[in-house]
Structure formats: C-alpha cells, structure tokens
Amino acid sequence: MSAQLAPRPSAQLALSYSRRGERGLPIAVPLGSVQRIEFPDAESKSAFVTAVLKARCEPDEELELFGQPVRGLSGKARQKLRARVGALSPIIGLISNLNAWENISLPAAYHGKPPLDVVATITGEVLDAFGIEPRSFLVRVPDELGKLERKIAAFARLLVAGPELAIIESLNDGLSRAECARVAGFEREYRRRHPAGTLVFVDLREE
C-alpha cells in the first residue's frame, strides 16, 4: 500500500488511519495535500473508505479525522466530522430514479445549503469544464448516462457539498484511456474551488 507512515496522530493531518494485521500499513494524509493511496485488495480499500465516510472504525482499526480520534465520539461530534468529509465512491451512488440535476441538488435541498442558485452555478461551471451541454445532460437519469457522465455528475455533487476532505475512489474504473485523461481534471477543479482542501484518490494496486 503506497502511503506515508503515521507513527503517531497529528493535528496537522486531515486523516490518520491504521489497521492491525499484515495489510495494516498506517496512512497519513497531511492537511491541504493531494494523495494517491493504493490498496492491495478490494476488502482493505472498502474498509478504509467506509471508516472515513462514517467517521467510525472497527475494533482492528484506528482513525483520526482532522486530529480527532473517532473512537468513542458522541453522535453529535461524529456528525460534525462527517459533514467535513465527502466522496465520489461506488458506496455513494446516484439515485436511479432521479435525473442528474436532482441527484446533484438533492443534498443541498435537504440540508438547506448552499442555495439552489449556487448549486446551479457550480454545476454549470463543472459541466462547462468538461465540455458537457447542461440542458440535455441534467434531465437524464443515471441509466441514460455513460460511465464518464455519471462520474462527472457525482463529482459536481461532491463540489456542491464542498468537503474539506474529499475521497475519490476508483476514478478510472470502466473508463477508456481518453476518458481517464478527462477525469484527471477533477483534481484541478476541486483545487480551484477548495485551495486549502485535502484530496485523496483511492485505488487498487496494479500488479
């Protein structure tokens, strides 16, 4: 697993994670950095992503987010940490019976922020950055979108949420070489809007 070793937690880390056993190399992600972490198998990758998104760890795991150990947190404190984290991940898929605009805007409508006009602006900018015409794109449901388009819709939703720590899992899965070159722009678009944010790309190690 390619990652920085984390012998002890630090307030200067966006996250610190370890798991006991031979696959449990510690991971340390500095605040404001862009990191690429490769896991040896799908199970260890999924365990990491799930722990971070839930701000909750299993007995064989240790996790800190923004210098705060998650073990033993109250429900309110855990929810506050979770609000600072977002992901583009198969764990958080698009809702099949909602069109692209509804998928992108639903979390903002539910939480009451950001305002929908801000959601529309961010969405328009993201689609423009990737050469997509918004009017026809936003009315389509996920089954009418290609794999690249679904990833772009999920990425727009992520940017609307504006997390301080963003996890992007298996970004290139199912994409052609040309499409992989396009989604490489996700890092640029996230950094443009969140210059102090932390971005972590998570994938399986290629043998």
Give the range of the structural domain holding residue 53, as residue numbers without chain letter: 13-84
pLDDT at site 5: 42
How many domains does the chain divide into?
2
pLDDT at site 207: 67
pLDDT at site 112: 80
Category of 25 on φ-ψ map: left (φ > 0), alpha (ψ -120 to 50) or beta: beta
CA 171 to chain centre: 10
Structural domain includes residue 52: yes
Asked if 78 and 114 sit in the same domain, the reply is no
Asked if 109 and 182 sit in the same domain, the reply is yes
Asked if 186 and 160 sit in the same domain, the reply is yes
Q: Which residues of the chain register pLDDT less than 50?
A: 1-11
Asked if 119 and 43 sit in the same domain, the reply is no
Q: What is the pTM of this model?
A: 0.88
> Final residue of a domain: which of 26, 57, 84?
84
pLDDT at site 64: 96
Asked if 165 and 80 sit in the same domain, the reply is no
> Final residue of a domain: which of 84, 109, 139?
84
Structural domain includes residue 90: no
